[in-house]
């Protein structure tokens, strides 16, 4: 009881801290709390969206932003629909009402468990399954919670089903959104998982009725009392079914769109979910890419498209479910005459942050209404039926920029010019006037002399320090930027008045690679590092070597960037050829004097 009161009071304090009248400025952490996302999502918004509010105060490392501007941006972009902002959205008001009821109960001596959904949870704290559940449930229309009038066959609270509910993650997301205005029903083949599902709903539900059944939904449907009567169905079916017993159910009336082949278990689940919908009921079902294209399921996909049942196909970012790639099919049972409107194809697979996927119905509507051709495209049903009924959104959505043949010519010319300029920067080193013989000193001796200090990877590097890196990567000189935090094994602080950092990196690169490495980091230990040697040279001589190394390192970075740019140009050129932007006729660089000289030098090597 005491713990419950503390939780309630803590939640009330958090709500008070978010009141728009208390502070005019917000830190990035406060924005994350306000928008119910992790800090990384806020940082991503700042990088990705040029219209994100600019800092109005604070410091470079901890800027503050105008609350008014942030809230306006969240509302404009739909990000504000991903949370309950201090009770000002529908969901937020519901949560505050729930809290008031609990506080009233406490004042009257009636304490009940505070549901977990009432406390703000960052998106970063959610598992991939919980995040997927939020997204799927957010696609259900508000009419899902509308009760049918008395006297009809399905009067009372509308039912939302999950015929493969596992531990009820999807049903709990339904409860979070619709509260006790719906009743929940699920079926799970594993008895242990069904028991967990019932426990979760018993702990999470605010008094709404729920039913959990055990058994195989396809072979022994325990939800048949809801056939044709459910307001909505949400389902992430098991994707590890190599085959399903289609012969045993060949005459089942659930196969309204065709009998699924043994290898098309997902199409069996799709039709199983659809069979339970009432008129205007909506089903959101997760499928894998193969179900969108597999030849054996073409006739079922065609029937789904032809009937008007299939409304949306949405490609999600990787990692948002139990398999790497997840697609959502949104189906709706027509009321009266079929609706043959276009099928909406949505491709969100390229989103860098899964938190950017809409998680509120209003945010989805804004995304659909914007009709950005690089994300969403309404495809006429006849176009989908022309061919193999491919339902991958990537086939129908335009790329970000459709380049012309002139654009490709300009890019190729610039790339040729860059290669020529880089070639001119290749250094040519002369042989020494006399044999070079060095005496050596170990890094351990230099450390005892105070010339350098070897620290652990937890130390904060300063610009000019030497960074010994993991996985056999060569040592580099710290720049004082965020890049210094990548793969560091040790930090070597250097007295720049006695030792040149680039000179040290030059010779350490060879000596470190020669030593065996046995640890899991793939890096030298501090004791091994202390045994590495460098020549005894004056500071002026060290700087000569350091300058040469710095030039070579810069050239190495340029070549790496050029190689990446060249690969991108080739990929885009292939795309231009396959999409008809370019013709397959091409020319190469003519044999000029410079080219002949380069060829001659190449033959000598």
Tell me: the pLDDT tens digits for 131-181?
A: 899 999 999 998 898 766 555 555 578 999 999 999 999 999 999 888 888
Highest mean pLDDT out of 297-311, 340-354, 523-537, 542-556: 297-311
409 or 349: which leads in pLDDT: 349
| Tokens read off for 582 | 């370019």
d(CA 313, CA 392): 8
Task: Give the residue range(s) of CATH 3.40.50.150 domains in the chain.
Answer: 126-395
36 or 409: which leads in pLDDT: 409
Mean pLDDT along residues 274-294: 94
d(CA 104, CA 27): 34
Asked whether the beta carbons of 502 and 550 are under 8 A apart, the reply is yes
d(CA 64, CA 82): 22
Largest CA-CA distance found in the chain, in angstroms, rounded: 106
Left if phi > 0, otherwise alpha if psi is -120 to 50, otherwise beta: which for 349? alpha
CATH no. of 126-395: 3.40.50.150
User: Which pLDDT score, from 0 to 100, does residue 517 have?
Assistant: 56
Give the three-class secondary structure for 156: strand
| Tokens read off for 601 | 């030098």
577 or 444: which leads in pLDDT: 444
Asked whether the beta carbons of 287 and 270 are under 8 A apart, the reply is yes
Environment class of residue 193 by beta-carbon count within 10 Å: exposed (0-12), middle (13-18) or buried (19+)? middle
pTM, two decimal places: 0.55
Q: Which alpha helices (H) appear in 19-167, and where do they start and end?
A: 28-35, 39-48, 67-77, 90-107, 128-138
pLDDT per position as a tens digit, 213-271:
999 998 889 999 999 999 999 999 988 776 666 656 667 889 999 998 888 889 999 99
């Amino acid at each position: 009881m005491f713990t419950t009161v503390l939780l309630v009071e803590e939640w009330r304090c958090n709500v008070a801290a978010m009141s728009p009248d208390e502070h005019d400025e917000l830190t990035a952490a406060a924005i994350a709390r306000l928008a119910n996302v992790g800090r990384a999502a806020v940082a991503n918004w700042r990088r990705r969206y040029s219209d994100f509010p600019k800092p109005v105060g604070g410091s470079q490392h901890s800027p503050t932003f105008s609350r008014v501007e942030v809230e306006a941006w969240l509302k404009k972009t739909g990000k504000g629909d991903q949370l309950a902002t201090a009770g000002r959205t529908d969901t937020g008001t519901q949560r505050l009402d729930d809290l008031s009821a609990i506080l009233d109960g406490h004042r009257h001596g009636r304490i009940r468990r505070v549901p977990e959904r009432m406390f703000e949870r960052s998106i970063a704290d959610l598992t991939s399954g919980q995040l997927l559940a939020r997204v799927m449930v957010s696609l259900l229309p508000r009419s899902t919670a509308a009760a049918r009038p008395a006297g009809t066959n399905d009067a009372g609270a509308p039912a939302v089903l999950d015929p493969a509910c596992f531990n009820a993650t999807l049903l709990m997301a339904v409860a979070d959104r619709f509260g006790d205005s719906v009743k929940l029903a699920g079926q799970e083949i594993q008895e242990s998982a069904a028991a967990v599902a019932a426990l979760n709903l018993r702990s999470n539900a605010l008094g709404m009725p729920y039913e959990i059944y055990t058994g195989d939904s396809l072979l022994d449907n325990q939800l048949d009392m809801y056939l044709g009567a459910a307001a909505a169905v949400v389902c992430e079916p098991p994707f590890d079914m190599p085959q399903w017993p289609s012969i045993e159910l060949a005459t089942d009336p659930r196969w309204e769109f065709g009998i699924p082949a043994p290898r098309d278990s997902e199409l069996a689940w799709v039709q199983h979910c659809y069979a339970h919908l009432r008129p205007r009921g909506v089903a959101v079902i997760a499928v894998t890419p193969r179900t969108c294209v597999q030849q054996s399921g073409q006739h079922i996909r065609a029937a789904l498209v032809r009937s008007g049942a299939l409304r949306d196909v949405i490609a999600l970012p990787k990692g948002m479910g139990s398999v790497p790639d997840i697609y959502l099919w949104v189906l709706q049972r027509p009321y009266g005459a079929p609706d043959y409107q276009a099928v909406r194809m949505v491709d969100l697979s390229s989103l860098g942050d899964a938190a950017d996927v809409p998680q509120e119905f209003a945010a989805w509507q804004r995304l659909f209404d914007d009709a950005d051709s690089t994300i969403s495209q309404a495809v006429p049903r006849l176009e989908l039926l022309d061919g193999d009924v491919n339902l991958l959104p990537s086939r129908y959505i335009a790329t970000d920029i459709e380049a012309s043949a002139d654009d490709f010519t300009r890019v190729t010319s610039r790339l040729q010019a860059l290669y020529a300029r880089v070639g001119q920067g290749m250094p040519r080193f002369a042989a020494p006037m006399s044999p070079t013989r060095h005496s050596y000193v170990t890094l351990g001796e230099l450390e005892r002399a105070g010339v350098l200090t070897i620290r652990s990877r937890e130390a904060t590097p300063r610009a000019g320090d030497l960074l010994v890196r993991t996985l056999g990567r060569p040592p580099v000189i710290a720049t004082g930027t965020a890049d210094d935090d990548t793969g560091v094994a040790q930090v070597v602080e250097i007295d720049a008045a006695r030792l040149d950092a680039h000179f040290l990196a030059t010779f350490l690169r060879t000596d470190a690679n020669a030593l065996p490495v046995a640890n899991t980091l793939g890096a030298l230990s501090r004791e091994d590092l202390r045994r590495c040697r460098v020549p005894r040279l004056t500071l002026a001589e060290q700087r000569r070597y350091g300058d040469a190394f710095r030039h070579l390192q810069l050239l190495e970075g340029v070549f790496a960037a050029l190689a990446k740019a060249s690969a991108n140009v080739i990929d885009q050129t292939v795309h231009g050829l396959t999409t008809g932007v370019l013709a397959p006729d091409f020319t190469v660089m003519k044999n000029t004097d410079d080219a002949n000289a380069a060829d001659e030098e190449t033959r000598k090597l």
